[in-house]
Amino acid sequence: MDIVVENLTKIYGVQKAVDDISFRVETGEVLGFLGPNGAGKSTTMKSITTYLAPDAGTIRLGNYTISDHPEEIRRLIGYLPENNPLYHDMPVIDYLAFVARLHGIAKDKIKGRIREMVQVCGLEGEKHKKISELSKGYRQRVGLAQALIHDPEVLILDEPTSGLDPNQIVEIRELIRRIGRMKTVILSSHILAEVEATCDRIMIINKGKIVADGSADTLRKHAGGKEILHVTVEDAGLNEVHQALMQLPGVASVDFVNKENGTFEIQSKEGMTSRRDVFQACVANNWVLTRLSPIETRLEDVFRELTMNQ
C-alpha cells in the first residue's frame, strides 16, 4: 500500500517542525528517514500514524486519508515508537495476545498469529519469559511482533535498532529486510550504515525540509561532485610524479596521502574524470602504477554536508 504525503506542515508555537514537505513511498519499498535531532523525523512519522494531527497538508494510505479515515489507517499501520513501550510484567505471549485483542483480531485466530509472530521475530526461546527478563534486542523483537501481529500493510519504525549491540543490529536488520519485501516500510535511524544496508531509498530531512531523496549511490554522486582518486606509483620520484599529474587537463589538485609508499590523492575538475590520463602518464613515464581507485563519498559526509550548511 502506497503512502502519499502532500504539503505536510506541523507547527509548535513559532517553530515549524515540518515545513510543507511532500513525498511518496511505494508498496514493497523500505524508506530510510534520516535527519539530525529536531529535524522533523518523528513528527512526520507520528503524523502518518495519526498520533499527531498536522496543521496543514494531507496524508493518504491507499484510498484513505488521515483526516477522514483515522480508524481505518490505524488498522493498516504497524508502529514501533522509539521508546518501544511494553508491559514489562507480562510474559511475551500474554502481551502479544493482549495486543491482538486490542487490534480486534478474531479470538479463534489469535493463537495462530502469536505462533507466526514468535517464529518470524525469533522469539521461540523467549516466549514464556516476562518482558522484563529479556535483553534489549529481544525487547525490540517483541516490539516488532506487536507492530506486525495484525498483519498491517504499512510498518513505521522509529529508531528500531537504538541501543542494540552489533550482533543484535544485524539480526533486526535482516528481519526488517524480510518484512520489507511484503510491506511498505518507513524506518528512521541515526546509524547511517544501518540505513544504507537496510533501505532501498534514503530521504534526509533538515529543519523540517526534505534536503535529499534517492538511493545511497544517487546521494553520494549528487553530493560528491568532483571525482577523487587514490593513486600509488612506484619507481619514480614523488616530486616528479606530483608535477606531472598536476599538468593533466582534468586534474584540479594533487596531494600526498602517504609519501612512504608513493600514494597521492587526485581531485578531478568538476564534471571530469582523470583516470585514463593518469594511466597514460604512468605508461609514458615508465612508472609502476600499483593502485588507481576512485574514493567513494561516504554517506556520513553527504549527511553532514546537507544538514550543516542549511
Range of weakest confidence among 88-97, 121-130, 271-280, 290-299 = 290-299
Tell me what percent of the chain is helix, strand and coil, each rounded to the nearest 5: 40, 30, 35
Mean pLDDT of 149-172: 85
Q: Which of 235, 259, 256 lies closest to 245 in space, CA to CA?
A: 256
Task: Work out the pLDDT band at 296, boundaries 50, 70, 90.
Answer: low
**What's the pLDDT at 249?**
92
The answer to whether residues 65 and 58 touch, using CB atoms and an 8 Å cutoff, is yes
**What's the pLDDT at 298?**
67
Give 61-96 pLDDT, tens digit per residue.
999 999 999 999 999 999 998 888 899 999 999 999
- pTM assigned to the model: 0.74
**What's the pLDDT at 221?**
67
CA distance 198 to 201: 9
pLDDT, mean over the chain: 89
Percent of the chain past pLDDT 70, that is, above it, reads 96
Q: Which of 14, 81, 83 lies closest to 48 in space, CA to CA?
A: 81
Task: Work out the pLDDT band at 131, boundaries 50, 70, 90.
Answer: very high
More confident residue, 120 or 157: 157
- Whether 222 has a pLDDT exceeding 80, the answer reads no
